Amino acid sequence: MKRQIQFDEAVSPVIGVMLMLVVTIIIAAVVSGFAGGLMGGSEKAPAASFKTVIKNGGGWGNSMFDIRVLATDQGIPTKDIKIVTSWKSKDGYSNTTTITGPVSAGAENTWTDNGARRYHGPIGHGEGIPRPDGTSEYTGAPMAGTYWPGQHFGNYTLVAGTSMHSSPGGGMTTGTSGGYGNPTLYQYGYGTSFSATDNDAMMAVLGWDWFHLRAGDVVNVKIIHLPSQKVIYDEGIVVEGTA
């Protein structure tokens, strides 16, 4: 009679080890997914829609940067976001700018009138902007052209109807006051009230060489929600010229 060899005792331990490994992997995946869900839930990004307009008409009066909030599922404090703009003009200039807030007085990113009035843009307009409290931006009497602290980027909250706005400084004259469009369209003139080291509101959001942008150039505008590190807006905006 031939002796029959049994392999059951050798196979069973192998199957057992494999089953233990599979169970361990499944448990690890479940735990990891649960932990990830907890983290993701506490850092949920808001949902919002925006409309951006960028114009360069050759001077301060017909140029602007404007982001309007069309809708949002919750108020979004601007201290919790950053705006990133990047572009390359047809004539080869390029720039990337990141705007965050808020900042302390004296560290603002925009300038006007010999540095006497400083503010951190883009400036908030419309809904969600804290109302003036009867005092000026700084101590003393209010000055024409200043903005209230609640309008500084980082101090206001985005809701439907809020506008984040910047426009260039200077005047369309041939005098010496300086500024964008003075004395030549699409160029900055530097004089007694505006120097080559100054930074106006458009420079603050688009960079020093922004005036090289022309109608048809594209500026990428991105808004990042800092607590969640999620991009809540990302669009290529075609620059507009004069109507």
At residue 42, what are phi and psi to the nearest 5 degrees? -80, -10
Contact 54, 219 (CB under 8 A): yes
Cα–Cα distance measured from residue 33 to residue 157, given in angstroms and rounded to the nearest whole number = 33
The confidence score (pLDDT) of residue 183 equals 77
User: pTM of the entire structure?
Assistant: 0.77
pLDDT for 172-200, tens place per residue?
Answer: 555 556 788 877 889 888 877 777 777 88
pLDDT at 20 over 60: yes
pLDDT for 205-227, tens place per residue?
Answer: 999 999 999 999 999 999 999 99
Cα–Cα distance measured from residue 182 to residue 195, given in angstroms and rounded to the nearest whole number = 12
Domain segments of the chain: what residues? 1-42, 48-238
Cα–Cα distance measured from residue 147 to residue 204, given in angstroms and rounded to the nearest whole number = 16
Contact 222, 83 (CB under 8 A): yes
- Coil/strand/helix, residue 39: helix
pLDDT for 95-134, tens place per residue?
Answer: 999 999 887 666 666 655 455 567 888 999 988 887 665 4
pLDDT for 61-99, tens place per residue?
Answer: 899 999 999 999 999 999 999 999 999 999 999 999 999
Residue 194 CB neighbours (<10 A): 24
